[in-house]
Amino acid sequence: MSIAEDSERLEARAEALIDLGRPEEALGVLSRAAALDPDAVRPHALRASSLIALRRYDEAQEAASAAIARGPEESDSHRLLAFAQLRSGNERVARDTALRAVALDPDESLNYIVLAEALQATRDEAGALAAARHAIELAPEAWYGHDLEGRLLLDHQEPAQAEAALRRALALDAENEAVLNNLSLALAIQGRRAEAAAGMEAATRIDPADELVRANTLLVARRHAAWVRGVGMAFAVIAVIVLVLTLVDGDLSAGTLAVPAVLALIGAGLIELGVRLAAAHASGPTGQMLLDDHRARRLKPWRWDWSWILRLRPWWWLALERIPPPYALLVNIGVGILVPLLLLGVPFSAWRAWRWYRRTHPASGSWRPPG
């Protein structure tokens, strides 16, 4: 068997290992392939793919660059380099590299997938969506184009259209946990929490080790727990304030000290009750994840989710989201003017009301005319 045939056999074995999710083993095989045929492009390109799977993006850029040096006309190597650059935070360089990959092979849909992500990262949202849709035109049977379109539409705050695109992706690959995860997020944004939780659980069952899916599953399912934990924290803060005021005042009677203790117990009880309710509302696996997550965070404020209140979506927020885009700009301008006026006007009005009250109801220490 010739050296070239040995190298090709090792390349095929490495590619199979990558497809099986064993990129670390593939790297060893590719090292032998590169040693057999130092001028071959494929071992370095596959090495870049393996390193990307391991999230070693700096090394992936070196491997992809080595592949390009040996075969500058191969668009795959440019695409891999662009992807690694994008993940390393070099968005503008990645966009230029992706454009070179598209120029070398304008009929390869994957080139447009990476280009779309690079364009989105460089704030060209319209270009990103156009590139994703062109990738779908080139390969309508591939799930990844529809999935990317759905993710881009989610970024554009169009969850209903994103849902339609993601359902098309799911129809092409029903066992894809990434698509299920994205579809569940689109459902959650629309307020369809039960459907979102079911989708997240399905994604978790497909790949229990996927950290992103687990994090999103907890994010959707533990909303009650986060809310009640916030209420419990409020009670705990009140308890501490009351205790401090009691100590400053010097009144250490049993009746006074009972107040912060009762408030702290109420807060702790609300926290536990909220977690149990959220776990009971979820199915078995998700409920267990909630309880495990709560045990890991209990009495550890540095691990609590302090941003929960910013993610609440009241009715007026949902109503504003449903305003058509041409009118949304006018509404935002109006809100941008009104809110500062309210922020300035409410304190000013309260201050004027307080001055009026003091004028009509003098305090006991107010000066009064003699006699």
Instruction: Concatenate the DSSP letters of all residues of 113-131 into one string.
Output: HHHHHHHHHTT-HHHHHHH
**What is the per-residue pLDDT for 63?**
92
Instruction: Give the Cα separation of 73 and 68 in Å (integer).
Output: 8
**What is the per-residue pLDDT for 195?**
81
Instruction: Give the Cα separation of 354 and 350 in Å (integer).
Output: 6
Q: Which residue, 108, 98, 171, 173, is CA-closest to 128? A: 98
| One-letter amino acid for residue 321 of the chain | E
281, burial (CB in 10 Å: exposed 0-12, middle 13-18, buried 19+): middle
Cα–Cα distances (Å) from 353 to 147, 338, 344, 350, 357, in that order, read: 57, 21, 15, 5, 6
* 32 Cβ contact list (under 8 Å, min separation 6): 10
Handedness of CA 219, 222, 224, 227 (dihedral sign): negative
**What is the per-residue pLDDT for 77?**
93
**What is the per-residue pLDDT for 361?**
75
**What is the per-residue pLDDT for 254?**
44
Instruction: Give the Cα separation of 58 and 123 in Å (integer).
Output: 24
Instruction: Give the Cα separation of 73 and 105 in Å (integer).
Output: 9
**What is the per-residue pLDDT for 27?**
86
Cα–Cα distances (Å) from 25 to 19, 32, 117, in that order, read: 12, 12, 29
Instruction: Give the Cα separation of 355 and 351 in Å (integer).
Output: 6
Instruction: Concatenate the DSSP letters of all residues of 36-73 into one string.
Output: H-TT-SHHHHHHHHHHHHTT-HHHHHHHHHHHHHH-TT
Instruction: Give the Cα separation of 174 and 176 in Å (integer).
Output: 6
* 122 Cβ contact list (under 8 Å, min separation 6): 91, 92, 95
* 276 Cβ contact list (under 8 Å, min separation 6): none
**Six token digits for residue 265:** 């117990």
**What is the per-residue pLDDT for 157?**
78
| Predicted model pTM | 0.65
pLDDT tens, position by position, for the chain (371 residues)?
Answer: 466 666 678 778 878 888 788 888 888 888 887 777 787 888 888 889 999 989 899 999 999 999 999 999 999 999 999 999 999 989 999 999 999 999 999 999 999 999 999 999 998 888 999 999 999 999 999 999 999 999 999 888 788 899 999 999 999 988 888 888 888 888 888 878 778 777 777 777 776 666 666 666 666 655 545 555 556 666 666 666 666 666 665 555 544 555 665 666 676 677 667 666 666 665 566 666 666 666 666 666 666 666 655 555 556 666 766 777 677 777 777 777 777 777 777 777 777 777 777 767 777 766 666 65
**What is the per-residue pLDDT for 362?**
72
**What is the per-residue pLDDT for 302?**
67
**Six token digits for residue 142:** 């591939």
